[in-house]
């Protein structure tokens, strides 16, 4: 009725918990990225790194077998995960999950791109989405 439901079944999940450069004030949300205040944002370097990582991951692996999620841990809906994974406001947390939802790997902070990429690639191979040489497999 409200559009096609995304099929998250048979996909691995790459979750990034990191405060977004936004402040909510009254009825308006203010995007720090569009103001001079962004220069003092405590996760400025990490935000710029994520803006480099995510397009590279999508280009390399696509979206057919991976569900990418960028989540702000200040959202009350994620409170159980904040406690479970001990998410800190000033530290990004990456969670890589198998297609069945089981946690495969957790990275605190910003891992080197190559380590993140290799972890995702290894999981795609283990889950049967890619074959050893990196080619996509029909599943």
φ, ψ (nearest 5 deg) of residue 92: -65, 150
Spell out the domain ranges in the chain. Answer: 12-126
Tell me whether strands 12-17 and 103-108 are parallel, antiparallel or unpaired: unpaired
In this structure, are residues 90 and 42 in contact, taking their beta carbons and an 8 Å threshold? yes
Q: For position 88, what pLDDT does the model report?
A: 86
- Which tens digits make up the pLDDT trace of 7-44? 556 899 999 998 776 555 445 555 545 555 555 555 66
* Distance between CA atoms of residues 70 and 113, nearest Å: 16
At 28 the pLDDT is 53
Give residue 67's pLDDT: 97
| CATH top class, domain 12-126 | alpha beta
Identify the pLDDT of residue 14.
97
| pLDDT profile of the chain (139 residues), mean per 10 | 52 90 53 53 70 93 95 90 90 95 95 97 94 64
d(CA 96, CA 106): 6
Global pTM reads 0.77
């Amino acid at each position: 009725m409200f559009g096609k439901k995304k099929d998250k079944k048979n996909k691995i999940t790459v979750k990034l918990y990191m405060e977004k450069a936004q402040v909510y004030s009254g009825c308006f949300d203010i995007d720090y990225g569009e103001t001079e205040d962004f220069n003092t944002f405590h996760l400025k370097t990490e935000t710029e790194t994520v803006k480099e990582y995510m397009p590279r991951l999508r280009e390399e692996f696509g979206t057919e077998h991976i569900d990418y999620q960028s989540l702000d841990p200040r959202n009350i809906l994620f409170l159980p995960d904040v406690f479970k994974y001990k998410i800190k406001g000033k530290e990004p947390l990456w969670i890589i999950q198998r297609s069945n939802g089981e946690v495969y790997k957790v990275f605190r902070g910003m891992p080197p791109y190559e380590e993140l990429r290799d972890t995702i690639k290894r999981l795609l191979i283990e889950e049967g989405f890619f074959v050893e040489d990196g080619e996509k497999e029909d599943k």
